[in-house]
Amino acid sequence: MCSTCGWANCLREIDEVLAQVDDIPPAGQDFAESVTEKLESMREWIESNKHVTDAQASAIGNMAAGIGRWLR
């Protein structure tokens, strides 16, 4: 288990983003489905390894920002 990478915070962020996916308008459904698939896969890996890589943390942030843009 990694105590310095913030993996638990990333799991919370993933859950927050996934909770917003259903609010994406129809025009963004392909994006929403892609984000859902990727985040669920990352969540599985992060939970199993109790670690998050820098690349994963960055990707989570980017996907959260993308969902945020669709919800404006």
**DSSP letters for 15-66:** HHHHHHHTTS-GGGHHHHHHHHHHHHHHHHHHHHHT---HHHHHHHHHHHHH
The pLDDT score that the predictor gives to residue 1 is 63
pLDDT of residue 4: 79
The reported pLDDT for the residue numbered 68 is 95
Each residue's pLDDT, cut to its tens digit, for the chain (72 residues) gives 677 788 999 999 999 999 999 999 999 999 999 999 999 999 999 999 999 999 999 999 999 999 999 999
The verdict on pTM exceeding 0.85 is yes
> Which residue type, as a one-letter code, is found at position 66?
G
